[in-house]
Structure 1
Amino acid sequence: MKKVINLVTHMEAGGAQGAAIRMSKEMRNRGIDAETWFIYKKSDTYTDEEKVEVIYKSAPTNIYHALKIVSILLKKFKEVKPDGVISYTHYASTLGHIASFMAGVKNRVATMRNPAWSYPRLAKLLNKYMGGKNYYTKIIAVSETVKESCNSYSQKYKDNIVVVYNGVPARISALTKEAARKKFNFNTGSSKLLINLGRLHPQKNQQLLIKMMPYLPGYRLAIAGQGELFQDLSKLINDLNVADRVHLLGEIKPNDVPDFLRCGDVFLFSSIFEAFGFAIFEAAYNGLPIIASNIPSNVEVLTDGGNKAGIIVPDMEVASWVSAVKSLEDPALYQSYKDAIEKKSKSFDFDSMVKAYTHYSTVNI
Structure 2
Amino acid sequence: MVSDFFYPNMGGVESHIYQLSQCLIEKGHKVVIVTHAYGRRKGVRHLTNGLKVYYLPLQVMYNQSTATTCFHSLPLMRCVFVRERITVVHAHSSFSAMGHDALFHAKTMGLNTVFTDHSLFGFADVSSVLTNKLLTVSLCDTNHTVCVSYTSKENTVLRAALNPEIVSVIPNAVDPTDFTPDPSQRLDDRITIVVISRLVYRKGIDLLGGLIPELCLKHPDLHFLIGGEGPKRLVLEEVREKYQLHDRVRLLGALEHKDVRGVLVQGHIFLNTSLTEAFCMAILEGASCGLQVVSTRVGGIPEVLPEELITMCEPNVRALCAGLETVIARQRSGSVPSPASIHARVQNLYTWRNVAERTEKVYDRVAGEEVLPLDRRLRRLRAHCGPVAGSIFAFVAVLDFLFLLLLQWWVPDWVMDVAVDATGPHGLWRQVPSSKVGAHSKSAVK
Question: Fold match, TM over 0.5?
Answer: yes
1:79 to 83, 86, 91: 83
Q: Is the 8 A contact 1:56 1:69 kept in 2?
A: no
Residue 193 (str. 1) matches residue 197 (str. 2): no
Retained in 2: the 8 A contact 1:224–1:249?
A: yes
Contact preservation (8 Å) 2:2, 2:89: yes
Q: Which moved more, 1:214-223 or 1:290-299?
A: 214-223
Deviation at 1:116, TM superposition (A): 4.1
Find the aligned partners of 2:181 and 2:291 in 1 and give their Cα distance: 14
Q: Report whether the alignment pairs 1:18 with 2:15.
A: yes
Partner residue in 1 for 2:305 = 302
8 A Cα contact 1:294 1:315, kept in partner: yes
| Residue aligning to 1:335 | 337
Alpha-carbon distance in 2 for matches of 1:356, 1:97? 21
Within the candidate set 122, 128, 148, 2:130 is matched to 122
In structure 2, the residue matched to 1:53 is: 54
Deviation at residue 192 of structure 1 after TM alignment: 1.4
| Number of the residue aligned with 1:355 | 357
Distance, in Å, in 2 between the alignment partners of 1:281 and 1:154 is: 29
Is 2:252 the partner of 1:249?
yes
**CA displacement at 1:309 relative to structure 2:** 2.8
- Could you tell which deviates more after superposition, 83-92 or 339-348? 339-348
Shift of 1:276: 0.5
1:109 equivalenced with 2:114 (yes/no): yes
Residue of structure 2 aligned with 1:283, choices 283, 286, 289: 286
Aligned to 1:184: none
User: TM-score, normalising length from structure 1?
Assistant: 0.82
RMSD: 3.1
Cα deviations by residue, 1:34-53 (Å, 9 ceiling, x for unpaired): 23332354998xx8944333
| 1:110 Cα deviation from its structure 2 partner | 0.5
| Shift of residue 101, structure 1, vs aligned partner | 1.9
- 1:278 Cα shift? 0.8
Specify whether residues 165 and 137 from structure 1 end up closer, same or farther in structure 2 by C-alpha distance, changes over 3 A only.
same
Which structure 2 residues correspond to residues 174-213 of structure 1 after superposition, within 5 A? 176-179=182-185, 190-213=189-212
Specify the code of the residue in structure 1 equivalent to 2:53: V
Higher mean alpha-carbon deviation, 148-157 vs 274-283, is at 148-157
CA offset at residue 22 of structure 1? 0.9
How far residue 10 of structure 1 moved from its aligned partner, in angstroms, is 5.4
CA shift for structure 1 position 285: 1.2
Contact 2:176 2:347 in 1 (8 A): no
Percent identity among equivalent residues? 17
User: Hey, what does 1:34 align to over in structure 2?
Assistant: 31
| Counterpart secondary structure, 1:149 | helix
CA–CA distance in 1 between the matches of 2:4 and 2:296? 27
2:181–2:340: 8 Å Cα contact kept in structure 1? Answer: no
Tell me: CA distance 1:154–1:290, structure 2 relative to 1, closer, same or farther (3 Å). closer
What is residue 263 of structure 1 aligned with on the other side?
Answer: 266
Aligned to 2:435: none
Tell me the residue number matched to 2:175. 169
Q: Deviations over 1:243-266 (max 9, x none)?
A: 222222222222222222112111
Q: Secondary structure at the match of 1:292?
A: strand
Q: How far apart are residue 209 of structure 1 and its match?
A: 2.1
CA distance in 2, matches of 1:78, 1:288: 48
Taking a change above 3 Å as real, the CA distance of residues 154 and 6 of structure 1, as seen in their structure-2 partners, is closer
Verify the 8 A CA contact 2:272 2:283 in the aligned structure 1: yes
Pair 1:228–1:35, CA change in 2 (3 A): farther
C-alpha displacement of 1:332: 4.7
Larger fraction in strand: 1
Q: Tell me, which stretches of 5 or more residues in structure 1 are unaligned?
A: 182-187
How far has the Cα of 1:333 moved from its partner?
4.3
Report if aligned partners of 1:112, 1:142 keep a CA contact under 8 Å in 2: yes
Using the alignment, how far apart are the partners of 2:92 and 2:68 within structure 1? 23
**AA of the residue aligned to 1:357:** T
The separation in 2 between residues aligned to 1:156 and 1:110, in whole angstroms, is 13
Residue aligning to 1:150? 156
Q: Distance in 2 between matches of 1:84 and 1:232?
A: 44
Count of residues in correspondence between the two structures: 345
Change (3 A) 1:87 1:238: farther
Once the two structures are TM-superposed, the CA of residue 13 in structure 1 deviates from its matched residue by: 1.4
Structure 2 unaligned residues grouped into runs of 5+: 369-446
1:224 maps to amino acid: G
Relative to 1, partners in 2 of residues 1:144 and 1:77: Cα closer, same or farther, differing over 3 Å?
Answer: same
Structure 1 residue aligned with 2:440: none
Deviation at 1:98, TM superposition (A): 1.2
Match of 1:97 among 88, 98, 103: 103
CA distance in 1, matches of 2:254, 2:55: 20
Would the alpha carbon gap of residues 7 and 152 (structure 1) be closer, same or farther in structure 2, given more than 3 Å must change? Answer: closer
Render the CA deviation track for 1:10-55: whole Å, top value 9, x for unaligned. 55211111111111122222222223332354998xx894433322
What is the rounded CA distance, in whole Å, between the counterparts of 1:223 and 1:88 in structure 2?
28
Give the structure-2-normalised TM-score.
0.68
Instruction: Give the deviation of 1:342 after TM superposition.
Output: 5.5
Structure-2 separation of matches of 1:234 and 1:293: 23
Partner of residue 68 from structure 1, selected from 52, 61, 72: 72
